[in-house]
Structure 1
Amino acid sequence: MPTFLVYFSITTNRKGAPDSMLIVDTILIILLVGVDQFIKHAVVANIALGGEHPLIPGVLSLTHLRNNGAAWSILQGQMWFFAVIAVVALGIMGYFFWQYRRDQNHRLEELGLALMMAGTIGNFIDRLTQGYVVDMFQLDFINFPIFNFADSCLTVGVILIAIGVYLADRREAK
């Protein structure tokens, strides 16, 4: 069974037993943060600041960039602002994550929250340890800001939550 389908087939345990989805989601978050940090460290170690390495010519390049702001480099140099926002966001996501953990009708939202938490933690680690976020993925075929794996987790997480909310609304309307 594909890994993605296994995620949705796990059932929650009876009260008092370990919450299997909480364990799975925690492992997923740790794994995604680890992948994010590995990619960032590999880029820093192998590509000079401002340097570029084509992965798929004309489509995708790795570019070593330091981002002192948020998405698209807005609010440059406001590290403490972003640290506070990250802590508050993690608290809010954690609340909803806890609410959804035993409701099989909200698995998509739960997965989206896990991805968003991983992305937030990945960029938060950079801000706390370096004062900036390492960005590296450059889409060569379109004028689009350079981003990192954590940003991708955040984006996919938001999309999954939006789809989950839409599907939940459709279920309730029936």
Structure 2
Amino acid sequence: MMIFYALFILTLIAIDQIAKITALKLLADRNDLPIIFGPVQFTIVKNPGAAFGLLKNRKTFLRIITAILIASVVIYFANLLVTETRSLLIRPLAFIIGGAVSNYLDRLRLGSVIDFLSLNIKKFPVVNFADIFIFAGSILFILNS
């Protein structure tokens, strides 16, 4: 069971990282690129802060807090895998961990998180797959708690 979830989390990280690399390559010489389906477009935004740009001027603090939060969730997740293998919280936590680790890798490698999916809705943030994984995992976690 643990190997399955480790591979699942690694797959989520790979999906997000590959999508970010692809978006960066597609937009190397342009600002926006409409996507065929609906109001979604690729728009590169480098976010040095947390959600909505919070703490953008406190990079070291943000890295430390993020590492502590990820470690805490991983410990809780591992404990659930060992003690409650049928818990409805395991899958949502896997999504949260995959998204958080992928964004954290950006922060360590690039100094900022690469966001690239934009909805043409006023004041809607530009996001990435990791953000979607974290959001979906959080909603499922709340619903299953």
Q: Does 1:74 align with 2:67?
A: no
1:105 Cα shift? 4.1
1:57 Cα shift? 6.0
Which of 5, 14, 22 is the matching residue for 1:34? Answer: 14
Structure 2 runs not aligned, ≥5 long? none
1:96 Cα shift? 1.3
2: CA distance, partners of 1:148 / 1:164: 24
Q: Does 1:98 align with 2:71?
A: no
Task: Report percent identity of matched pairs.
Answer: 28
- Residues 41-82 of structure 1, C-alpha deviations (whole Å, 9 max, x = no match): 111112037711111465211101111111111221322122
* Counterpart for residue 120 of structure 1: 100
Q: Does 1:151 align with 2:131?
A: yes
TM-score, length of structure 1 as denominator length = 0.76
Check conservation: 1:43, 1:64, Cα contact below 8 A. yes
1:150 Cα shift? 0.8
* Counterpart for residue 4 of structure 2: 24
2: CA distance, partners of 1:149 / 1:90: 17
| 1:22–1:115 Cα change, 3 Å | same
Check conservation: 1:50, 1:65, Cα contact below 8 A. no
| 1:50–1:81 Cα change, 3 Å | farther
Q: Does 1:139 align with 2:119?
A: yes
Q: Does 1:88 align with 2:72?
A: no
- Residues 109-160 of structure 1, C-alpha deviations (whole Å, 9 max, x = no match): 1111111111111011111111111100111145301011111111111111
Aligned residues: 144
TM-score, length of structure 2 as denominator length = 0.91
Q: Which has the larger radius of gyration?
A: 1
CA RMSD of aligned residues (A): 1.7
1: CA distance, partners of 2:144 / 2:85: 11
Q: Does 1:52 align with 2:32?
A: yes
1:24 Cα shift? 1.0
Structure 1 runs not aligned, ≥5 long? 1-20, 166-174
